[in-house]
């Protein structure tokens, strides 16, 4: 594969939220670089900071520290006004198509909104033409032009969300759990659409999800997050063939596989729940639930280190 241009890069990106009891470490020192035209999957359970990471990159949330470099430009310090220009190139698709679309706007009005905000078309006819083009691209029938969201099912609503994200021809789209609210047969339709669009428009995706089977299909690289930290990062194939961090292994083994031999097997269960991300102790954040934790894990936090070509893990066990 030829060397691709890096579209998005973050350096030690950190977001702390202030709470009564101290700082909540939502995103803690994340380094990533995303080549153009590829997909980075970000996986983790609720509260691991994956959505906050996505929103911080778009600067919908101001980062506490660190750097975001988008398309060669450091956007960390840009003002909201300056961000307007950049945002045309970075869009987001939200999780819940039931609440992320204005119920009082028709399909056409919803899709027109980003185009109107960016003042792209001065002429109504051109705008309508673009809206119809976008509806075609995402597979929404023209007859739905004047329909309202309540008349549509979840899959079609999510197509509106995708059309809105595509409207300004962005380079990067952050997909925040775009299919988790949908049924499996519809989920497959939307995932296929996203993959087709990537191919035809050369889009770059950051795909945030809790569903490993979804992320496997769509991603080139996968990053596993736990309590604001990246604990394992590698290409999709390697992650599933050779998961190394105990948490990644646990995540993979907790997925119930649709196979009749599962009935006799016991699901592998990891104990406990995610511990509090407020002022976490300086130790491995997974240590409290980890079946292999040693005293060293409880005293010191492991750094993300390379264990093989392109495979990074933050665990003392795999680094030894």
Partner 1 sequence: MSKEFINISAADNGPILEIKDLNVIYKTDVEVVHAVNGISLSLEKGETIGLVGETGAGKTTTALAILQLLPERTGRITEGSIRFLDREITEMSEKELELVRGNMISMIFQDPMTSLNPVLRIDEQIGEAVMIHNPEMSKAQINDRVEEVLGLVGIPASRKNEYPHQFSGGMKQRVVIAIALSCNPMLLIADEPTTALDVTIQAQVLALIEELQEKQDTSMIMITHDLGVVASTCDKVGIMYAGELVEFGTLEDIFDSEKHHPYTSGLFNAIPDLTVETKRLNAIDGLMPDPTMLPEGCAFAPRCHECMEICRKQKPGYYQEGGHSIKCFLYVEQKQEENV
Which residues sit at the interface with partner 1, rule CB under 8 A?
A: 45-46, 153-155, 183-189, 191-192, 195, 210, 212-214, 216-217, 237, 240, 250-260, 262-263, 265-271, 273
- Measured between alpha carbons, how far is 174 from 92 in angstroms, rounded to an integer? 5
The nearest distance, CB 88 to partner 1, in angstroms, is 30
Report the length, in residues, of the chain: 320
The nearest distance, CB 280 to partner 1, in angstroms, is 17
Which lies closer to partner 1 via its Cβ, residue 18 or residue 266?
266
Q: What b-and-e string marks burial along 170-200, b requiring 16 or more CB atoms within 10 Å of the CB?
A: bbbbbbbbbbebbeeebbebbbebbeebbee
- Measured between alpha carbons, how far is 21 from 141 in angstroms, rounded to an integer? 51
Whether residue 232 contacts residue 314, with contact meaning beta carbons closer than 8 Å, is answered with yes
Under DSSP, is residue 179 helix (H, G, I), strand (E, B) or coil?
coil
CA atoms within 13 A on the CB side of 26: 20
Whether residue 290 contacts residue 230, with contact meaning beta carbons closer than 8 Å, is answered with no
- Measured between alpha carbons, how far is 23 from 25 in angstroms, rounded to an integer? 6
- Measured between alpha carbons, how far is 203 from 172 in angstroms, rounded to an integer? 6
Residue 317 host element (H or E): helix 316-319
Q: Which residue in the block uniquely carries the two structure tokens 């649709």?
A: 258
The nearest distance, CB 46 to partner 1, in angstroms, is 6
The nearest distance, CB 55 to partner 1, in angstroms, is 20
Rg from Cα positions in the chain: 21
The nearest distance, CB 64 to partner 1, in angstroms, is 25
The nearest distance, CB 45 to partner 1, in angstroms, is 4
The nearest distance, CB 166 to partner 1, in angstroms, is 20
Question: What are the angstrom distances between the C-alpha of 51 and each of 74, 108, 291?
Answer: 21, 28, 28
> Which burial class, exposed, middle or buried, applies to 162 when counting CB atoms under 10 A from its CB (0-12, 13-18, 19+)?
buried
């Amino acid at each position: 594969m030829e060397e691709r241009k890096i579209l998005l890069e973050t350096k030690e990106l950190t977001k702390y939220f202030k709470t009564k009891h101290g700082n909540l470490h939502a995103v803690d020192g994340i380094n990533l670089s995303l080549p153009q035209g590829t997909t980075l999957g970000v996986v983790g359970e609720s509260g691991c900071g994956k959505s906050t990471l996505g929103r911080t990159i778009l600067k919908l949330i101001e980062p506490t520290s660190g750097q975001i470099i988008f398309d060669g430009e450091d956007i960390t310090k840009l003002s909201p006004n300056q961000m307007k220009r950049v945002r045309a190139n970075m869009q987001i698709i939200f999780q819940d198509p039931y609440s992320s679309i204005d119920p009082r706007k028709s399909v056409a009005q919803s899709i027109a909104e980003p185009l109107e905000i960016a003042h792209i078309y001065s002429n109504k006819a051109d705008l309508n033409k673009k809206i119809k083009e976008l509806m075609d691209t995402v597979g929404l029938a023209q007859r739905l032009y004047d329909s309202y969201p309540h008349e549509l099912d979840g899959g079609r609503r999510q197509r509106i969300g995708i059309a809105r994200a595509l409207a300004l021809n962005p380079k990067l789209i952050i997909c925040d759990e775009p299919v988790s609210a949908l049924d499996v047969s519809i989920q497959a339709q939307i995932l296929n659409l996203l993959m087709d669009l990537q191919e035809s428009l050369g889009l770059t995706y950051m795909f945030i999800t809790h569903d490993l089977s979804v992320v496997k299909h769509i991603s080139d690289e996968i990053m596993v997050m736990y309590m604001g930290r990246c604990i394992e990062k590698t290409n999709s194939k390697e992650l599933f063939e050779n998961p190394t961090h105990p948490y990644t292994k646990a995540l993979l083994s907790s997925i119930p596989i649709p196979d009749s031999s599962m009935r006799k097997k016991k699901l592998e269960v990891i104990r406990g729940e995610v511990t509090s991300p407020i002022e976490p102790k300086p130790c491995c954040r997974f240590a409290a639930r980890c079946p292999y934790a040693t005293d060293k894990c409880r005293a010191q936090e492991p750094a993300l280190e390379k264990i093989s070509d392109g495979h990074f893990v933050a665990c003392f066990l795999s680094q030894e």
